[in-house]
Structure 1
Amino acid sequence: MAETEYVTAEDLKRIKKTFRDIDGNGDGRLTKHELKRACKTMGVRDNTEHMKDMLTKMDECGKDYLTFKEFDAFMRDVLEAHAIEEQYLKNVFASMDENGDGHASVDEIAKALNITMETAQELIKDGDKNGDGKVSYKEFAALYRKKDD
């Protein structure tokens, strides 16, 4: 299968390598336990909706494994969703970072989100990990993703 707008050739190599590495007994199937290990290896959180859906589908079908084809399709969906989410977060952050310095200040957040300065201050407090009084993109993305954990 070919790369897509969101899934690169490098991602495809990682999917194949991960499947081979995690398929401990070499039977061409991943058990639920192996699937969770594979997702961890690929940097996919196992509490995502995609992961929960896949495990539910496995239960509903009465299957306790995934073939490479199924794993490949699943990982492509997950990687595409992650890439779309990443682009969305970058766009949202850019809309807040009015002066383009790579950080969102209390004033910028309050203005962009149309919230009070106090509420913006609380958001900064929750996300500002290095204590500089602003939120970088990395801090913003971590704060956003924390809501899913």
Structure 2
Amino acid sequence: MEKSQTMEAAIPPPNSKPSMYLEDMEEVEKTFNRFDANGDGKISTEELSGVMKAVTSSTTSEEVGHMMQEMDTDKDGFVNLHEFASFCKGETDPFAATSEGGEKELKEAFELYDQNHNGLISASELHVMLTRLGERCSVKDCARMIKSVDSDGDGYVNFAEFKKMMTNNSKN
């Protein structure tokens, strides 16, 4: 998997699902297992809530419930690997241009990473968030990820670049 895909896979917008348009099943399973803290083969509301709290303390229980409703297609109260894989493939797309609030969700996701609120995501900010998500990477790795989506060459990801990356990726 390319580094830019790792960045895309690790950006969880609040008020919606994490953006995990993962391409191969091995990556989907690895991510699923990180969410499935007790290893029972399904993600509970509590497990999803724990992941979201690790990423951002501002996710409410209502938002987590909304995320579960979106992912839990068989309505059994849990997200199994099949449901998670469908979710990761972007079969339900919160970033679709026609979806109400898509721009707002993208902005909120961007703001999770832009920790100093300067309108740019730096390699160190990306590193902090990926570390919170359990990813093992260096700041240099993060700089390479940023370079892969940095269309203006300034060494940062601005909102326009972030939006382009997320909307292009969700159409795959």
Fold match (TM-score > 0.5): no
Q: Shorter-chain-normalised TM-score: which range?
A: 0.3 to 0.5
TM-score by length of 2: 0.38
Q: Which of structures 1 and 2 has the larger relative contact order (alpha carbons within 8 angstroms, sep 6+)?
A: 2
Larger of the two Rg values belongs to structure: 1
More helix by share: 1
TM-score by length of 1: 0.43
